[in-house]
Each structure stands twice: as structure tokens, then as C-alpha cells.
Structure 1
Amino acid sequence: MTLYHFGNCVALVYVPYYMTYKYSGLSEYGAFWKCIQAGGIYIFTQLCKMLVLATFFDSDTLSSSSDGFNFIAEFLRSSVDVADLLGFAIILSRIPGKGHSKLITAGIGWAAAEVILSRGIMLWVGARGTEFSWVYILKCVESNVLLIQHITTATLIWLFTRHDLNKSLKPLVTVLLAITIFKGVWLEGILAVLAFGPWASIAMKLLVAALMGFVSLHIYTNLAQKIGL
């Protein structure tokens, strides 16, 4: 039973990533090693963030408060998350290609590396040793939400660096990037204030990711039609 639960969790995490990779057309472009390269840049970016947090921020300040949400700690962590935008920019500049394949490669590579490092050990140690627990199911579902969010972030970075983007849309893209970076502050703060349950919190995060993804896709589609991508 424990092995069955572990297998379900692994499938819930990684099958959507595989399906996205296969049916987005990346497999036809031989983008597997490009995704690994994006994952390597993710690892390097996280190491740099950890170094900055350990060097310039006090561990007591970054610790969680008794009520489960520390505004100052989340704000400081989110401010360091600006490095993620730089990481995405590096990926998009180093990975050849054009159109949606480049953006999905960056998003999948980044998200897959994050899932492997943050969920792999947890599932192997936790889910493999228990018959069933909703905690691991929730973590697996949240990983799929992160996939949507990271592809959206890659799209926003690509749009932000385009010189042919309509100037009237530049502020919107900038605001969406700021919302993405400080999501740990405003979204987690709202969830803490409203005291949402775990499933409601996942649904709220999915709604936010879907809305941001829809807006980003709309801007990208208009620009792609304009420049002939």
C-alpha cells in the first residue's frame, strides 16, 4: 500500500510535466538537454539566493512567526526572488529557438528542477513510508500549479525584453512581474487572513496562476502574430 501511494504521488507530480513536454512539441525539437540546461541555471540561481540570505539576512528575521505568517520574512524572501527573474533571463538568452518552444522549454526546465529538488526527497522519505496522507497529495497538486506559474514567468520575461512590444503594454507586463515576485507576500498574506483550508488555498493559487497565464498568453499571442512567430 505504501508503494502504491508513493507511485500515485510520483505520477501526480511528473506525468503533467511529461505530457506538457510531449504535446507542446518540445520532443520534436530535441529540447530535452535544453530543459536540463535550464534546470542547471535554476540550481545555480537558488544557490546564489541561499548565499545572499545567509550573508545579509538574520535567521531570526526570516523565521516564521507563531501565527504561521511573517510579513517581514516573506517580504525579504520575495525581494531576493528577483534573482529568479535574472535566472529566467539567462535561460532565454542562452537557449536557442523561437516562439512558444523557447518559453515552454525555460518554464519546464525550471519547474522540473524545482520539483525534483523540493518534492523528490520529500516523496521518497515521506510518501514511501506511509499508507496514505493528503499532505503529499496537496504538495503534488501544488507542483502542477507551479508549472503554470513558471511558464507564465518565462513568457513575461520574454515580453519584458522585447523592444517591439507595444509601449502601452509595458507597464502591465512590469506589474505582472512584480505580482509574481511578491506573490509570497500578498497571496500568502490573503490566505492567512482568510484562514483558507489547504484545498481552498490550492484552488486560489491555481486561479491566480491561470489568470496571470491567460493575460500573458493574450499579450504573447498578439505580439507573435505581429512579428510572425
Structure 2
Amino acid sequence: MTLYHFGNCMALIYFPYYLTYKHSGLSEYGAFWKCIQAGLIYMVTQLAKMLVLATFFPDNVSDLGNDTIGEFLKSTVDLADLAGLYLVLSGIPGKGHSKVLTAGIGWAAAEVVLSRTVLLWVGARGAEFDWIYIQKCLESNILLVQHIITATLVWLWSRHDLKQNIRSAVSILLLLTSYKSLLLDLLISFIGASMWMGLLIKATTTLIYGMFTLVIYAGLAQIIGIF
């Protein structure tokens, strides 16, 4: 039974990544190694972030979960993710949609492998069933969408033909990206939402966030024909 639960969790967490890669057309572009490259840059970026946190905010690292200021500092350091994604996008040739999908999927896959695999191996194989692992898997699927959105915003921001008002909107969305997790956690804690309700709030917020990004991207694509 424990292995069955573990298998279900592994399928729930990784199968959407496979389907996204397979049916987005990236396999036709031979983008697999570019996804691996994105994952490697993700790991280097996270290492750099940990070094910054340990060096400049040593008093806050141990209690980030209970300290709002510590969480804010951690979210500020997350701005490095935007720089990492920019570096990934710079090394990927091709059209806009293939660049953002390759960067987003590679980045998200690296995160889920590093942050979820050990958790599921240790926890989901336990003797007692716990919904928290299903929730973690669903949350990883939400993060997949979020990372693709973030990669799209970084790519839009890097373009030189973007109008100033649109660039300002993209910059605001990018800034909110780094603090999105913190703001949602504070909201969920403030209203006392359950874990399932919190998951629904995160999914709804990501959907709205994605719709704004899609409108900007589709508008630019229609003007200059980048599809």
C-alpha cells in the first residue's frame, strides 16, 4: 500500500511535466539538453542564493518560517531567480514560445526534483497515509505553470521593441513574482484558510497571473508575429 501511494504521488508530480514537454512541441526542437542546461543553471542560482542568505542574513536563516522580515529578505534574494532565467533564455535559440517553454520547464523540473523527490521518498512511503503529499504534488503542478509564466515575463522584459507602458507592467509583474509566495502565505495565514483552501487560492492567483501574462504576450505576438 505504501509503495502504491508513493507511485501515485510520483505520477501526479512528474507526469504533468512529461506531458507538458511532450505535447508543447519541444521534443521536435530537440530541446531536452537545453532543459538540462536550465536545470543546471537553476542549481547554481540556488547555491548562490543560499550563500547570500548565509553570509548577509545569518540571524534570519534559522527562523525564516516564523519571521516576516526574514521571509521578506528571503523573497528579495529570490530576485536572483529572474537573473538565472534571463541567463537561461539568452542561451536558447529559436522562437519566443520555444524559448519560454524550454526555460520554464527546465527550471521547474530542476526545482521539483531537488525539493520534492526526497520528501516523497521519505514521507510518502510511510506506513500512514497523509494528504499532505498529494497537496505537495498538486502544488508542484501549480509551480510548473508559475515558472513558465515567469520565464515568459523575463523574455518579454528582455525585448527591445516593447512599449514603455507594457514594459512597466511586465516589470511590476516580475517584481511581484519574487514576493508572490510570501504575500499568499501571509494572506492564507491571515484568513486562517485550510491547506486545501490555500492550494485553491494559489492556483487561482496563478491562473489570474497567467492570464495577464498571456494577454501581454499574445498582443506582442500579434503585432510582430513571433508565434
Same fold (TM over 0.5): yes
What's 1:62 paired with?
Answer: 61
What's 2:106 paired with?
Answer: 109
| 1:10 aligns to 2:10 (yes or no) | yes
| 1:78 aligns to 2:44 (yes or no) | no
Distance in 1 (alpha carbons) for counterparts of 2:223 and 2:45: 33
What's 1:138 paired with?
Answer: 135
What's 1:159 paired with?
Answer: 156
How many equivalent residue pairs? 226
* Structure 1 segment 178-197 matched on structure 2, within 5 A: 178-197=175-194
Distance in 2 (alpha carbons) for counterparts of 1:58 and 1:64: 10
What's 2:38 paired with?
Answer: 38
Distance in 1 (alpha carbons) for counterparts of 2:84 and 2:92: 12
Amino acid at match of 1:70: D
For structure 2, the residue ranges without an aligned partner over 5 or more in a row are none
Distance in 2 (alpha carbons) for counterparts of 1:130 and 1:168: 55
In angstroms, what is the RMSD of aligned CA positions?
1.3
Larger mean CA deviation between 144-153 and 215-224 belongs to 215-224
Distance in 2 (alpha carbons) for counterparts of 1:53 and 1:99: 33
Displacement of 1:70: 2.2
Structure 1's consecutive aligned runs of 4 or more residues displaced over 4 angstroms after TM superposition are none
What's 1:48 paired with?
Answer: 48
What's 2:23 paired with?
Answer: 23
What's 1:225 paired with?
Answer: 222
Conservation of the 8 A alpha-carbon contact between 1:62 and 1:72? no
Distance in 2 (alpha carbons) for counterparts of 1:208 and 1:166: 26
SS at match of 2:206: helix
| 1:173 aligns to 2:176 (yes or no) | no
Displacement of 1:69: 4.2
Amino acid at match of 2:17: Y
What's 1:149 paired with?
Answer: 146
Conservation of the 8 A alpha-carbon contact between 2:3 and 2:125? yes
Structure 1 3/198 Cα, relative in aligned 2: closer, same or farther at 3 Å?
same
Distance in 2 (alpha carbons) for counterparts of 1:36 and 1:90: 14
Distance in 1 (alpha carbons) for counterparts of 2:195 and 2:66: 15
Distance in 1 (alpha carbons) for counterparts of 2:182 and 2:6: 32
What's 1:201 paired with?
Answer: 198
Distance in 2 (alpha carbons) for counterparts of 1:181 and 1:202: 18
The share of aligned pairs that are identical, in percent, is: 59
| 1:213 aligns to 2:200 (yes or no) | no
Distance in 2 (alpha carbons) for counterparts of 1:197 and 1:55: 35
Deviations 1:147-181 (A, max 9, x none): 01000000000111111112221111111111111
SS at match of 2:125: helix
What's 1:95 paired with?
Answer: 92
Displacement of 1:123: 0.8
Distance in 2 (alpha carbons) for counterparts of 1:126 and 1:207: 27
Conservation of the 8 A alpha-carbon contact between 1:12 and 1:140? yes
SS at match of 2:161: coil
